[in-house]
Amino acid sequence: MHKGKWITGSARKELARTFTREYSEGRSIRSIAEAHGRSYGFVHRVLTEAGATLRARGGDVRTGSAQSAR
C-alpha cells in the first residue's frame, strides 16, 4: 500500500490483524510502522481501534530490553 493512501474497510481490518499479531509477538509500534511504511501514529491508532492492549512505554522489563537501551 502506498503511504498516504486511505485504508478503509476490509483492507484496514486485515492490516489491524497483522499489526495486532506482530505487536503481540513483541514488536514495537515503531518497528511495525517502519516495516510497513506507515507512521507511528497510524499504527497506534489502528491497534487502538482493534482493541489491542498496549504495553507501557520503555520496553519489556521482564527481558531487560529496557535496561540495555539506556
Q: Which three cell numbers stand for residue 5?
A: 493512501
Whole-angstrom Cα distance, residue 49 to residue 69? 29
Residue 28: the pLDDT is 95
The percent of residues above 70 in pLDDT, for the chain, comes to 77
Cell of 62: 521482564
pTM: 0.76
SS3 call for 57: coil
- The maximal CA–CA distance of the chain, rounded, in angstroms, is 40
| Cα–Cα distance, 53 to 47 (Å, whole number) | 8
Task: Express each pLDDT in 30-56 by its tens digit.
Answer: 999 999 999 999 999 999 999 999 998
